[in-house]
Amino acid sequence: MSEKETFKKELDERTKEVEALIEAYLPQEKGDQKTILEAMNYSVRAGGKRLRPLFMQETCRLFTGTVLDTVKPFMAAVEMIHTSSLVHDDLPCMDDDMMRRGKASTWAEYGEDIGVLAGDALMMYAMETAAKAFDAAQDQEEMARVGQAMGILARKTGVYGMIGGQTVDVELAGGPIPKDKLQFIYRLKTGALIEASMLIGAILGGAADQDCRIVEELAAKIGMAFQIRDDILDVEGSQNATGKPVGSDAKNKKTTYVTLEGLDKAKKEAERLSREAAADLDKLGSNEFLESLIGFLAGREK
């Protein structure tokens, strides 16, 4: 078995473990508000590569050699937040996409009103889920780390993170976007949750402040590489890989890294950022799976 095949097999196994972990934290579909619970679970169960919880898990493992119980609720929470952003992205007032991950998008399945509520509900339920980490903390030091992680998750999700980036994206939609503004959008809209994932993994794993700063910097590079690669896949990928029609960015007249710089330069930039992130990772220690995951990110399958 080749090195690539070995990694893919390990990635599949770890992704299945993450899927099971997330499933365990999903709400039960009962009560008078059953519809919103079903819509929330439908959205999360639509799938995805679960990269954010994987990054959180492996960053914690980098510093501890294991996955702490305090990390697990945050792994589920960050995927719920990511999913909530996709639910809102697909709405008619945003990207107006009826497909997500090969299935009907949440609003297309449940209606626009429930789609809005499902995105809102997932974001709030994510914070409720993350707070369960307090119950898993073994001592006051772990409790303090959980509190710090809660603050990071909220900040990287909100107006200084994902939602802030989305706001600028919406305001500039339909027209030309300067490169500096596009980088701002990517850094917040996409990168912030990846930064949150890796930084929370490091903090809960007891990493030193200096190491946490390195983690945040390399995560920012990973986030930018991931979004640029996503732009590339929208041009030359397939619906099987992306889960939605190829060319949706062009349909929505969106400025992307590809429209600004071209395919070749976009590919080179994604590769450069991934190499630099891997070099930063070497400063922190050895985690072969995490290093392979960063490389996989730069050259995701079409």
pLDDT tens-digit profile of 79-121?
999 999 999 999 999 989 999 988 999 999 999 999 999 999 9
Cα-atom radius of gyration of the chain, to the nearest Å? 18
Region of residue 50 (left: phi > 0; alpha: psi -120 to 50; beta: else): left
pLDDT of residue 274: 92
235-240 long-range Cβ contacts below 8 angstroms, 24+ apart: 235/263, 236/263, 236/302, 237/302, 238/302, 239/99, 239/102, 240/102
Joined tokens for residue 93: 């007032």
pLDDT of 247 above 60:
no
Q: Report the greatest alpha carbon distance in the chain.
A: 53
Q: What is the pLDDT of residues 197-215, one digit of tens each?
A: 999 999 999 999 999 999 9
Burial readout 42-68 (b: 16 or more C-beta within 10 A, e: otherwise): bbbebebebbbbbbbbbbbbbbbeebb
For the whole model, what pTM was predicted?
Answer: 0.93
**Distance from C-alpha of 187 to C-alpha of 74, rounded to nearest angstrom:** 21
Stretch (H or E) spanning 103: strand 103-104
The structural architecture, per CATH, of the domain 3-298 is: Orthogonal Bundle (1.10)
Position 216 pLDDT exceeds 70: yes
Q: Which residue has the tokens 């519809």?
A: 35
Domain locations in the chain as residue ranges: 3-298
Q: Which two tokens stand for residue 228?
A: 């640029």
